[in-house]
Structure 1
Amino acid sequence: MKIKVGISSCLMGQEVRYDGTHKHLRLATDSLARYFDFITECPEVGIGMSIPRKPIRLVGDVDKPKAVAVHDEALDYTAELTQFGEQKAQQHADLSGYIFMKNSPSCGLFRVKVYQENGYPAATPGRGLYARAFTDAHPLLPVEESGRLCDPLLRENFVTRVFAYANWQELKKAGLTPKGLTDFHARYKYVLMAHSPAKYSELGRMLADAGNQNIDALGEQYFAALMTVLTSLASRKTHTNVLMHLQGYLKKKISAAEKAELAQIIEQYRSAQLPLIVPVTLLKHHFNNHPDPYISQQAYLQPYPDDLSLRNAI
């Protein structure tokens, strides 16, 4: 079953922008669509604006801007866009991620200009009103915007978070239990260690007495902490640490020559001579030949389908 992910309609090639064009994101339609069931929304069209239409922009307070027509600030769409975001956040509560259109006064996440009375944008950028309402309603939801997905590290991080979020939703559907929660944590051990070894240990301590706590409350606390950890980018240093841990499971199973080769490949990754896919592929090869029940459950070796090729460039 595909994972439900929200996306700005224009990124799927729909001609819904103010000028009647689109901003087709090939990554979405040519790659991610194999595994994501994209739910499209254009909030400006959703509130009844025409195609084409006069453009809008954000003005005023960066933390609480208004969305007005560029040609006539008396035309205020603030309430409509905010309410539409709140409505869609309720309607799409089953999403596992969202890709927003960059720079948009309705959908932009990170660098949206908020114009001041002097005609210039504020030094601090804002967030589109629809995107703000949606993310306020789902603060743990993995979100990203189209422009940032050109960065291989941000792209890989986003997809990792989407699959983790979807796996958590499936666990909750089945019903949280102390064993289910600790098994989930064990499965994501090396994914977490690649982002923060210290936070992995901290989360483990959180679950130490899981059987004697309210499991639903503990689960929410745990998952909030987990998604916060995964939002930070993993580094070559932390990935190398994980690769060396995984290498340790093979020390009594592979030959001296194979151990030397694996160590060399990991070092070449550490020194940025090779992408992450190379040592991971070699590790998977050895574990296929020498299965380990614990390692076979680890999300790190396959946090998402291999053919997305996201580790080829990091």
Structure 2
Amino acid sequence: MDDRIRIGISACLAGQPVRYDGSAAKAEHLTGTLAKYLDFHPVCPEVGCGMGVPREAVRLVGTPENPRLVGNRTGRDWTATMRDWAGPALDELEKQRLCGFIFKAKSPSSGLSRVKVYAEDGGQPVSYAGVGLFASLVTERFPLLPVEDDGRLHDVGLRANFIERIFVEHRWHQLADQGLTMKALIDFHTRHKMLVRAHDVAGYRELGKLVADGKHLGLDALARQYHERLAKALALKPTVRKNVDVLMHAMGYFKKQLSPDEKQECLEIIDNYRNELVPLIVPVTLLNHYVRKYDDAYLRGQYYLNPHPLDLKLRNHA
């Protein structure tokens, strides 16, 4: 990548001691190797809106559809205060041109899902389907932004999918910065075809049709619709079946060059991946070898074969 990728992150996950009790919750599984490639923009909405450190813990009260942010002990309602603070804060996030956001799981301000919501009279939670107040404002303002929470990102597959998405979003920003043209958009689409296909076959077809019909839409409308459909497609996780489909498709580009032994070896390794005997990195490495050996220009440009730096090891367990 030409420059580091900027993403938002709950400040406590970045190691800042901003939790209600003055502690941090540094997410080493996110801020370790990834720090070589990402610039983290830390945000603590509770401190930002004036709660201070240490502070009274807060929780969501009411219903999952319309919760209020309320102090556990005093019952002070922070909802309007946080909403007022969030307006300028979201404007600042827009200026940062983030490529993703990692939230603190289950936080009443920053949790993306599974946040406890309490009844007005306290007691036991009435729902575990709440969304943190600030997180809901971020996703409403930036609906195409790749977002996850630190809890879900312990899952290797979810982490790989999220990181793949932020790298694609970064390349989309670069496309816009370099000056969007029809030629540049077609090149972007061409290089991401196999990657998208591994996530969403229907999305892969729809994006192809969208680009083919693009001259009738106008460049601005095309770019907007393309980005929306791309984000929707990449939000779906790749599966073994979809990856096998892409691997077989890629192998087809070498049908005239591969010797019988090479073809058999490739089929066996793809089948081993299909049966979950080897991780995805194994057939991908073999295909990259054939790309270099036979100098296939189309596959050489496919981000599917090199979606992110190898030292992240995101395909070593898939």
In 2, Cα distance between equivalents of 1:225 and 1:190: 15
SS at match of 1:7: strand
Tell me, yes or no, if the aligned pair for 2:118 and 2:127 is still in contact at 8 Å: no
Structure 2: runs of 5+ lacking an equivalent: none
Tell me, yes or no, if the aligned pair for 2:110 and 2:132 is still in contact at 8 Å: yes
**Structure 2 counterparts to residues 130-141 of structure 1, below 5 A:** 130-141=134-145
Is structure 2 residue 290 aligned with structure 1 residue 289? no
In 2, Cα distance between equivalents of 1:125 and 1:255: 55
Matched residue, 2:85 = 84
Greater share of residues in strand: 2
Is structure 2 residue 115 aligned with structure 1 residue 112? yes
**Structure 2 counterparts to residues 4-15 of structure 1, below 5 A:** 4-15=6-17
Q: Which 4+ runs in 1 deviate beyond 4 A?
A: none
In 2, Cα distance between equivalents of 1:192 and 1:147: 25
Tell me, yes or no, if the aligned pair for 1:86 and 1:134 is still in contact at 8 Å: no
Tell me, yes or no, if the aligned pair for 1:193 and 1:200 is still in contact at 8 Å: yes
SS at match of 2:129: coil
Please list the CA deviations of residues 145-187 of structure 1 after superposition, one character each: whole Å capped at 9, or x if unmatched. Answer: 0000011111011001101111111111222222222211111
Is structure 2 residue 70 aligned with structure 1 residue 68? yes
Q: 2:169 aligns with which of 146, 161, 165?
A: 165
SS at match of 1:252: coil
SS at match of 1:165: helix
Shift of 1:288: 1.4
Matched residue, 1:225 = 229
Moved more, 98-107 or 208-217: 208-217
SS at match of 2:254: coil
Please list the CA deviations of residues 273-301 of structure 1 after superposition, one character each: whole Å capped at 9, or x if unmatched. Answer: 11111111111112111111111111101
Please list the CA deviations of residues 111-144 of structure 1 after superposition, one character each: whole Å capped at 9, or x if unmatched. Answer: 1111113622233511111111111110000000
Tell me, yes or no, if the aligned pair for 1:57 and 1:69 is still in contact at 8 Å: yes
Tell me, yes or no, if the aligned pair for 1:187 and 1:297 is still in contact at 8 Å: yes
Is structure 2 residue 305 aligned with structure 1 residue 301? yes
In 2, Cα distance between equivalents of 1:296 and 1:100: 35
Give the fraction of aligned pairs with identical amino acids, expressed as a percent. 45
Shift of 1:85: 3.0
Tell me, yes or no, if the aligned pair for 2:64 and 2:127 is still in contact at 8 Å: no
TM-score, scaled relative to structure 1: 0.96
RMSD: 1.2
Structure 1: runs of 5+ lacking an equivalent: none
Is structure 2 residue 253 aligned with structure 1 residue 252? no
Please list the CA deviations of residues 1-54 of structure 1 after superposition, one character each: whole Å capped at 9, or x if unmatched. Answer: 101000011111111101111111012221111100001111111112221111
In 2, Cα distance between equivalents of 1:204 and 1:83: 42
SS at match of 1:267: helix
Is structure 2 residue 245 aligned with structure 1 residue 241? yes
Which AA in structure 1 matches 2:272?
A: Q
SS at match of 1:311: coil
Which AA in structure 2 matches 1:302?
A: N
Tell me, yes or no, if the aligned pair for 1:9 and 1:41 is still in contact at 8 Å: yes
Q: 1:183 aligns with which of 183, 187, 190?
A: 187
Matched residue, 2:105 = 102
